[in-house]
Amino acid sequence: HRRGFAVRVLERREGLSTASRASTLHPPTLEAFDDLGIFAPLRDGGVRVDRLLWRRVETGAAAILDLGVLNGETRFP
């Protein structure tokens, strides 16, 4: 919006969620932030993780995602 683009937020529910829905920034997002020059000021406020636990609430199925496999593929593995 600040750059002059029209923005519309679509929400399935009647109101906006107050729950956290964006706790992780993935490598392509971090690369884009770095290219825009806005990553460095954010770095100190974040926590670097090398693996994620993914869990499906409905079934309890879980998987560990090892982000170390991205070493050499991105500036932010």
pLDDT digits (tens, 9 = 90+) for 31-48: 999 999 999 988 888 888
pLDDT for residue 69: 93
pLDDT of residue 30 exceeding 80, the answer is yes
Question: For 39-61, what is the mean pLDDT?
Answer: 89
Question: For 66-71, what is the mean pLDDT?
Answer: 91
* 68 within 8 A of 51, measured Cβ to Cβ: yes
Cα 10 to Cα 16: distance, rounded to the nearest angstrom: 9
CA-based diameter of the chain, in Å?
Answer: 44
